[in-house]
Amino acid sequence: MPSFLKDLRRKSITRKPPSADSEKWSASNTSSNGTNKSSSTLNSFLGSSTPPSTLLSERSKSATNLVATNGSPPPVPTRPSVVSSKSNRYSIVGSPVSNGQPRNMAATSPLAPRVVSISDNSWVHQKVFLIYGQIGDVTQPQDGHVIVCHHQDSFPQTSWPVFDSHFKTLVHLQPGPNRLRLDFLPAKAAPPTSSPAHSSWININYLPLNASPPLHLVILLARNSPETYDAVPERVQREGNGLATAIRKYRMSAYLWQAFTGEQMNRNNFGRRCFRFEEEWQQGTLTYRDTETNQMRNEAKIHIIRMEKTLQEIRDLEVAQQYEPAKRKGDLYSWAMDAVRAYFAPRPGQKQYVSCMYLDTHWDSQYKTVRGHAALGGGSDDLQLAVFGSHALQSYPASIEEVVPAFMDCTRTDTNFVANDLNESGSNWEAANIGIGAHLHETGHLLGCPHQESGVMLRDYIKLNRTFVAREAFATRTKSPGQRLCLPKDECTWHRLDTLRFRFHPCFRLPTDPSPNQDGSVQVWTVDVGNVLATASSGIPFIELFAEGDDVCHAWIEYMEPGSSNGPPRQVSLIEGELRSRLPEKSRNKKLKIDIFSAGGGKHTVEDFNQLASKASRVKLPDGRAGFRGGKLGFSQQDGTQAQEILLQSAFQQTKLLRAVRVYSGFCLDGVEFIYEDSTTQLFGKRGGKPGGSEFALDTRRGEILMGFYLRAGVWIDGLQILTSLGRKSEIYGNATGGSGHTLIPPRGYSIAGVYGTCGQWVDGFGMIITR
Picking from 96, 89, 73, 94, the residue whose alpha carbon sits closest to that of residue 22 is: 73
* Residue 181 to residue 148: CA distance in whole angstroms: 6
* Residue 702 to residue 365: CA distance in whole angstroms: 80
CA 758 to chain centre: 40
DSSP code, position 116: -
**Radius of gyration of the chain from Cα atoms?**
32
* Residue 555 to residue 3: CA distance in whole angstroms: 87
Query: Judging by beta carbons within 10 Å of its beta carbon (0-12, 13-18, 19+), is residue 334 exposed, middle or buried?
Result: middle
* Residue 63 to residue 385: CA distance in whole angstroms: 55
* Residue 255 to residue 287: CA distance in whole angstroms: 13
Report how far apart the first and last C-alpha atoms of the chain are (Å, whole number).
Answer: 90
Torsion region of 164: left, alpha or beta (phi above 0 gives left; psi -120 to 50 gives alpha): left
Evaluate the CA torsion angle 533, 539, 541, 547 in order and state its sign: negative
Query: Judging by beta carbons within 10 Å of its beta carbon (0-12, 13-18, 19+), is residue 589 exposed, middle or buried?
Result: exposed
Contacts of 208 (CB under 8 A, 6+ apart): 125, 127, 175, 276
Element holding 378 (H helix, E strand) = strand 376-379
The answer to whether 356 touches 219, Cβ cutoff 8 Å, is yes
* Residue 677 to residue 450: CA distance in whole angstroms: 52
Instruction: Extract long-range pairs of 734-739: CB within 8 Å, 24+ residues apart.
Output: 734/663, 734/665, 734/666, 734/667, 734/668, 734/669, 734/689, 735/667, 735/668, 736/712, 737/348, 737/712, 738/667, 738/668, 738/712, 738/714, 739/711, 739/712, 739/713, 739/714, 739/715
Picking from 50, 55, 21, the residue whose alpha carbon sits closest to that of residue 34 is: 50
* Residue 510 to residue 209: CA distance in whole angstroms: 7
β partners of residue 729: 723
With b for 16 or more beta-carbon neighbours within 10 A and e for fewer, the 194-232 pattern comes to: ebbebbbbbbbebbbbeebbbbbbbbbbbeebebbbbbb
The answer to whether 211 touches 238, Cβ cutoff 8 Å, is no
607 is catalytic: no
Kindly provide the residue ranges of all beta strands, DSSP E only, lying in 559-679, ordered along the sequence: 571-575, 592-597, 603-606, 618-620, 626-629, 642-647, 658-665, 669-676
Q: Which of 442, 472, 544, 673 is catalytic?
A: 442
* Residue 255 to residue 253: CA distance in whole angstroms: 5
β partners of residue 101: 98
DSSP code, position 729: B
* Residue 719 to residue 669: CA distance in whole angstroms: 5
- The stretches of 462-567 forming alpha helices (DSSP H) are 496-503
Q: CA distances (Å), 727 to each of 249, 671, 748, in order?
A: 54, 23, 16
Contacts of 318 (CB under 8 A, 6+ apart): none
* Residue 313 to residue 359: CA distance in whole angstroms: 14
**3-state secondary structure string across 678-715:** CCCEEEEECCCCCCCCEEEECCHHHCCCEEEEEEEECC
Active site residues: 442
